Structure 1
Amino acid sequence: MDLFDDLPEPTQTSAPPPSSVPAHTAIDEEEDRGLKRRRGDEEEEEEEELKKVCREGLPVLRGYVAARRGEREEMQDAHVLLPDLSSCLTSLPSVSRVSYFAVFDGHGGARASRYAAEHLHLNLAKKFPSGHTENGDRLIKKCLLDTFRQTDEDFLKKASSQKPAWKDGSTATCVLLVDDMVYVANLGDSRAVMCRTETAEDGQKKTVTLALSKEHNPTIYEERMRIQRAGGTVRDGRVLGVLEVSRSIGDGQYKRCGVISTPDIRRCQLTSNDSFIILACDGLFKVFSADEAVKFVLSVLQEGVMDQKAGLTEQEVRFEAACQQLASEAVRRGCADNVTVILLSIGC
């Protein structure tokens, strides 16, 4: 199974990066040649860095979150919004920006989801590649794989040391933005979807919904085969007739049955055609299809005049309203589960 799936290329891309700055010209004074060349190189490097940070189309993700307990006695979801992860990195990489957003849907308790929310991004920061490298993309993917494995192992050690041992587990869906490249790593049935505008053959604009994650449940053939090879069984669509997901953080009692913590990782280069990403637990998608959720958000964004809030732009007010209304609508439609929605606006 290829864990490193790329999403389809957009039909329209944003403007290409600016071309390199021309080499500085020769100078007349021989004694100043070396000094001015060094200054010219430094200025060229600084200008290139500025272009890298400020070039047209470099996206900014702004996160909005809404959480509803639903009819559950306990809120077992957890979430993280870190628009700037650089403060957590042990060494600053050769990129302009790193952002991180995540949703964790706990089961059997809230301890696994809370642990993952507190520690996964810290493990990611420790393992994040630094410096200039030609294979940075593969290193980031390896970093994500190692991060999920480490977080799972650490939680299982803590869980097994308790008396009685903790049996909590959690899904995980994480969005990592590195400059204009989005990496989505997920376990279980929480999901991430993106709204993108494309141009049809007749020239008309249309919005499409892109799945950024892959669901893991034991009814999927590859997942069921792995579970059965490990000696587990699938009954009523569940591992051993109990667990609904086939990959998770925690769930120590099911790890021997083929439940793993290896995430699927997908990447997608953001463009000016991308509007927003919805990152949510299955509580939302039990009552919304991905397309319905995207259309619901679009309808709120396109509503008439909204009451302004101090310190927020009109666009920020609209995205905040869309996020809150989407979560509330999921509860209104009868979802009894916890509902957590992160709505990420994409802009410059």
Structure 2
Amino acid sequence: ERGEKRKRDGDLDQQQVEEKDEAEKKVCKLAKLKGVVAARRGEREEMQDAHVLLPNLSECMKTLPAQSRLSYFAVFDGHGGARASQFAAENLHHTVISKFPKDVENLDKLVKKCLLDSFRQTDEDFLKKASSKPAWKDGSTATCLLVVDNVLYVANLGDSRAVLCRIEQTDSGDENCVTLALSKEHNPTIYEERMRIQRAGGSVDGRVLGVLEVSRSIGDGQYKRCGVISTPDLRRCQLTPKDFVILACDGLFKVFSAEESIKYVNKILQDSAVDGKAGQTLEEAGRYEEACQQLASEAVRRGCADNVTVILISIEF
């Protein structure tokens, strides 16, 4: 009887170990992120937007904690020229890589510090380059998504935005599409922004000195003395299955509300879904591509004369 009891206890211990391992596997399962982009020049003479899609940024990293994965997506909306937006698109993620924390302890705090430092460094580097060329008065907004494992960090300055669609189950069992704002708009009419600019000696008449529409940006060296800063707003979000993210410049949101854009994309994804078929990876990518292109085209059709850049990011577990 004692032998049988030891055997049963051993089997139970083995079962608990297996269940624990299975639970850990589920916890460690990383989301798969894919991004598609659509860009329209609108009625502008040149395209001043820039964008970056790096779903496997971790491939560029020399050292990363075991099983860690990084993804990076960004939209930059230039004004006064395309040089600031192009510079940020080419350099910001390299600065993030160089400053990314090596220690996994206090990772959340260190990632946020990395993003703040990277924005400041990119702004300083561009201003240094622009100062040697008096004609360079370019500036740019920036909205960047950095995904560390299954945690999404958003750093933004200016009026480009990021919104997330989260599918939630209702009490009746139906699925409800919920829109979550992942960024904060920075324009000089907002009280805190206006106060900072006025304390720095600048004036606000709808715009900074009556000219600049945003109160935070990369570049815009001539407005830095007036309180225009390059410190981004930071948000953090845990990813869940069926999420998707729209990352876009203000050209989209001049004619779409955040909720409208999410519902517009979600309807296209649902309407074009393959009935009763599983594992349609190519079809899935095609549906997101179609939704992204249609959203950008619809913004132009609705009368947006500005540049329009939209990144649509799918998230699968």
Q: Which residue of 1 aligns with 2:251?
A: 283
Q: Secondary structure at the match of 1:215?
A: coil
2: CA distance, partners of 1:266 / 1:107: 25
Report 1:157-306 matches (<5 A).
157-162=128-133, 164-200=134-170, 204-235=174-205, 237-272=206-241, 274-304=242-272
The question of 1:144 aligning with 2:115 is answered: yes
1: CA distance, partners of 2:270 / 2:169: 20
2: CA distance, partners of 1:264 / 1:177: 16
Q: Which residue of 1 aligns with 2:36?
A: 64
Q: What is the CA-CA distance between 1:199 and the residue it aligns to?
A: 3.2
State the Cα deviation string for residues 188-241 of structure 1 (Å, max 9, x = none): 000000000123455543111000000000000000000001000101x10000
Q: Which residue of 1 aligns with 2:294?
A: 325
State the Cα deviation string for residues 292-337 of structure 1 (Å, max 9, x = none): 101110111122478xxxx961111100000000001100110000
Kindly, what percent of the aligned residue pairs are identical? 72
Q: Secondary structure at the match of 1:239?
A: coil
Q: Runs of at least 4 residues of structure 1 off by over 6 A? A: none
Structure 1 residues 304, 202: closer, same or farther in 2, change over 3 A? closer
State the Cα deviation string for residues 138-169 of structure 1 (Å, max 9, x = none): 0000000000000000000000011x341000
2: CA distance, partners of 1:56 / 1:138: 21
Q: What is the CA-CA distance between 1:171 and the residue it aligns to?
A: 0.2
2: CA distance, partners of 1:243 / 1:312: 44
Contact residue 139 and residue 218 of structure 2 kept, 8 A:
yes
Q: What is the CA-CA distance between 1:130 and the residue it aligns to?
A: 1.4
Q: Secondary structure at the match of 2:271?
A: coil
- For 1:139, the aligned partner's letter is L
Q: What is the CA-CA distance between 1:96 and the residue it aligns to?
A: 2.1
> Any stretches of 5+ residues in structure 2 without a counterpart?
1-15, 275-279
Structure 1 residues 258, 305: closer, same or farther in 2, change over 3 A? closer
2: CA distance, partners of 1:90 / 1:171: 29
Among candidates 59, 62, 69, match of residue 87 of structure 1: 59
> Any stretches of 5+ residues in structure 1 without a counterpart?
1-20, 24-43
RMSD: 2.2
2: CA distance, partners of 1:270 / 1:191: 18
1: CA distance, partners of 2:286 / 2:174: 29
2: CA distance, partners of 1:286 / 1:186: 18
Contact residue 90 and residue 126 of structure 1 kept, 8 A:
no
2: CA distance, partners of 1:84 / 1:57: 16
Q: Secondary structure at the match of 1:96?
A: coil
- For 1:62, the aligned partner's letter is K
Q: Which residue of 2 aligns with 1:314?
A: 283
Q: Secondary structure at the match of 1:313?
A: helix
Q: With structure 2 as the length reference, what TM-score do the two structures score?
A: 0.88
Contact residue 92 and residue 119 of structure 2 kept, 8 A:
yes
Among candidates 105, 118, 137, match of residue 134 of structure 1: 105
Structure 1 residues 304, 85: closer, same or farther in 2, change over 3 A? closer
1: CA distance, partners of 2:171 / 2:112: 35
Q: What is the CA-CA distance between 1:94 and the residue it aligns to?
A: 4.3
More helix by share: 2
Give the total of aligned pairs.
296
Q: Which residue of 2 aligns with 1:15?
A: none
Structure 1 residues 203, 58: closer, same or farther in 2, change over 3 A? same
Contact residue 163 and residue 182 of structure 2 kept, 8 A:
yes
Structure 1 residues 150, 275: closer, same or farther in 2, change over 3 A? same
Q: Which residue of 1 aligns with 2:92?
A: 120
Structure 1 residues 261, 90: closer, same or farther in 2, change over 3 A? farther
Contact residue 93 and residue 129 of structure 1 kept, 8 A:
no
2: CA distance, partners of 1:302 / 1:219: 38
Q: With structure 1 as the length reference, what TM-score do the two structures score?
A: 0.80
